[in-house]
Amino acid sequence: MMKQYQDVELVKDMMSDESLGEPVLLRKGQKGVIVEIHSSSEVPYPGYDVEFFDDAGDTVAVMIVREEDIRALSKRPSAEEVA
């Protein structure tokens, strides 16, 4: 199971939902961060709310994805861990 605020990327192309306006085609490799974990009967399937960003760091979509649709990215060391 992945964790909240974990960096992830898509493993396949997906169309976003319309939560931020017009649907956006998200490409395999699109980076994002998990902002919420869903495991209740209130969502259509267990999954994660992921906020996806463009290369400039602007949000392009926020949507629920299944765990099999994303993969965790390696954790980058913090400044304290490098020093």
Residue ranges of domains in the chain: 7-73
At residue 4, does pLDDT exceed 70?
Answer: yes
pLDDT digits (tens, 9 = 90+) for 12-49: 999 987 666 788 899 999 999 999 998 777 666 778 99
CA 65 to chain centre: 7
Output the average pLDDT for the chain.
84
Q: If one looks up domain 7-73 in CATH, what number appears? A: 2.30.30
Query: What is the pLDDT at residue 23?
Result: 87
Percent of the chain with pLDDT over 70: 80
Q: Which residues contact 81 (CB under 8 A, 6 or more apart)?
A: none
